[in-house]
Amino acid sequence: MAVGIVKDDIYLQHITDDYHPENPRRLEHIYTMLETLDQKGLTYVSPRMATHDEIALNHEPSYIDSIARTSGKPRTQLDGDTVTSQKTYEAALTAVGGALELADAIQSSRVRNGFALVRPPGHHAERSQAMGFCIFNNIAITARYLEQKHNLKNILIVDFDLHHGNGTQHSFYNDKGILYFSTHQYPYYPGTGGYEEIGDGAGRGYTVNIPMSYGMGDEDYLYAFRDILVPVAEAYLPDFILVSAGFDTHYNDPLGDMAVTETGFAAMTRILLDIAEKHCNGKVLFVLEGGYDLKGLASSVRAVIMELKGQSVYPYEKKGEPSTTIVQMTTIIKRLLIPYWGHF
């Protein structure tokens, strides 16, 4: 079965500024890279605009209306670093709708897994606030959609963007139906994502934050995945895996201080595929978040797509040991999570 890909020119019509890191050139580079791939095994899934009701699965109607009012206006500043252009509303609706169409395609086995190559990104968007280049929370809406339209019970969201997905975390903080796992540079923008944030009420234990320190690379990320994500997923038994895929942890990224390589992204994808194959028929959907080094972004997305196709172009080779910092951090986190997930 093929890998589903969502791409569309509307995503290039969300115009920020040339100096803004989150600009249309990011996707232009990725779409150009796509043309160089062997198209066999790729299925392009056409996006649509999400409906108001679908967006309202995660956002306040008054907030949705406020974004709708920006339509046709040359420029509206939503927060310090989030702006809209004439077609941003349409692009944002289609970013959500692209992820939803891909979720449907995976659920109905038209494709095996997939990558929604969309913008604007989503994981910082709060229920009624745009934030950090994000307008609608693509991944959070898709999780709610899978719950409500497809009756799925356990949805695992894995967020390996450089930044903590505050919006996603807040959407599900009291909710055990959706497990949010994030690795992120910390302390850093947006300030949330401390290891002690593990959910609240019925959702306690269903938020897992792994703060990453300056300069961490492949072995540290892979250690966090193997030491925490794999055993938690083993106990949680996901029905579907959603991935907030940000590539601003790439060693060349201008916004981040991390050192992840294409090989690291491929190996992280392999772990996610292994979890998905074991527990949910291989159902895993990647949605693009950040990544601001154009070359590194395109080559990292390529590494992920090839892995999704089952053709590793960056075979993993252990490059060293994980740092003692990450080993100590995961030990603390495991101790915190034992009441919810047992010993691991």
3-state secondary structure of 299: helix
Rounded distance, CA 178 to CA 201, Å? 13
Q: Is 162 in the site for Zn ion (CB under 5 A)?
A: yes
List the catalytic residue out of 14, 59, 124, 163: 124
Mapping DSSP onto H, E and C, the string for 258-288 reads CEECHHHHHHHHHHHHHHHHHHCCCCEEEEE
Cα–Cα distances in angstroms (integers) from residue 78 to residues 83, 133, 148, 154, 222, in the given order: 6, 9, 30, 33, 36
Residues 65-104, one symbol each (x = binds Zn ion by CB under 5 A, - = not), give: ----------------------------------------
Stretch that binds Zn ion, among 155-163, 195-203, 276-284, 307-315 (CB under 5 A): 155-163
Q: Is 203 in the site for Zn ion (CB under 5 A)?
A: no
Q: What is the DSSP string of 196-222?
A: T----GGGTTSEEEEEE-TT-BHHHHH
Q: Is 124 in the site for Zn ion (CB under 5 A)?
A: no
Identified binder of Zn ion from the candidate list 8, 161, 219, 227, rule CB under 5 A:
161
Stretch that binds Zn ion, among 65-73, 153-161, 180-188, 274-282 (CB under 5 A): 153-161
The minimum distance between CB 210 and Zn ion, in angstroms, equals 15
Residues 232-261, one symbol each (x = binds Zn ion by CB under 5 A, - = not), give: --------------x-x-------------
The minimum distance between CB 53 and Zn ion, in angstroms, equals 28
Stretch that binds Zn ion, among 73-81, 88-96, 157-165, 191-199 (CB under 5 A): 157-165
Stretch that binds Zn ion, among 140-148, 237-245, 264-272, 284-292 (CB under 5 A): 284-292
The minimum distance between CB 188 and Zn ion, in angstroms, equals 9
Rounded distance, CA 101 to CA 303, Å? 23
Q: Among this protein's residues, is 279 annotated catalytic? A: no
Only one residue has tokens 């159902």, namely: 283
Q: β-pairing, 76-79 with 82-84?
A: antiparallel
The minimum distance between CB 117 and Zn ion, in angstroms, equals 16
Q: Is 163 in the site for Zn ion (CB under 5 A)?
A: yes
Q: Report residue 329 as tokens.
A: 């951090």
For Zn ion (CB under 5 A), the number of binding residues is 6
Specify the long-range contacts of residues 190-197, CB closer than 8 Å, at least 24 apart.
190/124, 190/131, 190/132, 190/163, 190/164, 190/166, 191/164, 191/166, 192/164, 192/166, 193/164, 193/166, 193/169, 195/329, 195/332, 195/333, 195/336, 196/336, 197/169
The minimum distance between CB 124 and Zn ion, in angstroms, equals 8
Q: Is 165 in the site for Zn ion (CB under 5 A)?
A: no
Residues 22-61, one symbol each (x = binds Zn ion by CB under 5 A, - = not), give: ----------------------------------------
The minimum distance between CB 149 and Zn ion, in angstroms, equals 28
| Torsion sign (Cα): 167, 171, 176, 177 | negative
Cα–Cα distances in angstroms (integers) from residue 292 to residues 33, 252, 261, 270, 324, in the given order: 15, 9, 14, 23, 29
The DSSP code for 316 is -
Stretch that binds Zn ion, among 17-25, 194-202, 260-268, 282-290 (CB under 5 A): 282-290
Residues carrying an active site annotation:
124
User: Using CB under 5 A as the criterion, which residues of the chain lie in contact with Zn ion when the complex forms?
Assistant: 161-163, 246, 248, 290
